[in-house]
Amino acid sequence: MPVEQRDVHNEAAFDVIIATADYPVIIVTTAAGQERAGCLVGFAGQVSIEPRRFLVGLSHSNHTCAVAQRAQHLAVHLPDRDNPALAELFGSETGSTIDKFAHCDWHTGPHALPILTASEAWFTGPILQRHDFGDHMGILLGLSAASAPNRALAASRYSDVADVPPGHPQ
Ligand SMILES: Cc1cc2nc3c(=O)[nH]c(=O)nc-3n(C[C@H](O)[C@H](O)[C@H](O)COP(=O)(O)O)c2cc1C
């Protein structure tokens, strides 16, 4: 396989394309033993229909990634664009220094995962595979439970939260 050559012009064009795509963002939560974790995630998406499969990219430097290494399941929440506080909390604070779950409403869901009450749309899944993708770890999820919103919900997109300073340097 050819070694990837770094090219700043290609990387800048790539960054423009990704910003233009303006992907939705999600909030991932997880639990291992008594420890809970969660963060805002832009690197995520469905990768199979039958069976349902979803890929999440977690930065190796994030507290959530450390807990996810020991967890068996993740929960994926679709934050409401009209309620940016939740995305801001999970994107700008780190579980290394604060307990984010002391600052929001949540309840215990399937597999003892913390489910964020303000997010009506969520699903849970078992961690099927972990891959080192570089500075992020790829986590492949199956599907075990899901809750769809009862009303039209506007998903938060990258452009809605681009100004949120990440709680952990990437
Ligand atoms: C717009 C945006 C997108 C982000 N995307 C990701 C991502 O895909 N994966 C990730 O691990 N962190 C991502 N982050 C950063 C984490 O949400 C942030 O560093 C968080 O504070 C980490 O919390 P933790 O240390 O408790 O896990 C993103 C942050 C923002 C603002």
Protein residue with its CA nearest to atom 23 in ligand 1? 94
Give dist(CA 92, CA 33) in Å, integer: 24
pLDDT in tens, 115-146: 999 999 999 999 999 999 999 999 999 999 99
Per-residue model confidence as pLDDT tens digits over 72-81: 999 999 999 9
Nearest alpha carbon, ligand 1 atom 16: 91
In this structure, the dihedral spanned by the alpha carbons of residues 131, 132, 134 and 136, taken in order and rounded to 10 degrees, is: 70
What structural domains does the chain harbor? 23-152 (2.30.110.10)
- The predicted model scores a pTM of 0.96
Which residues line ligand 1 at a C-beta cut-off of 6 Å? 25, 37, 39-43, 57-59, 62-64, 91-96, 158, 161-162, 164, 166-168
Express each pLDDT in 49-80 by its tens digit.
999 999 999 999 999 999 999 999 999 999 99
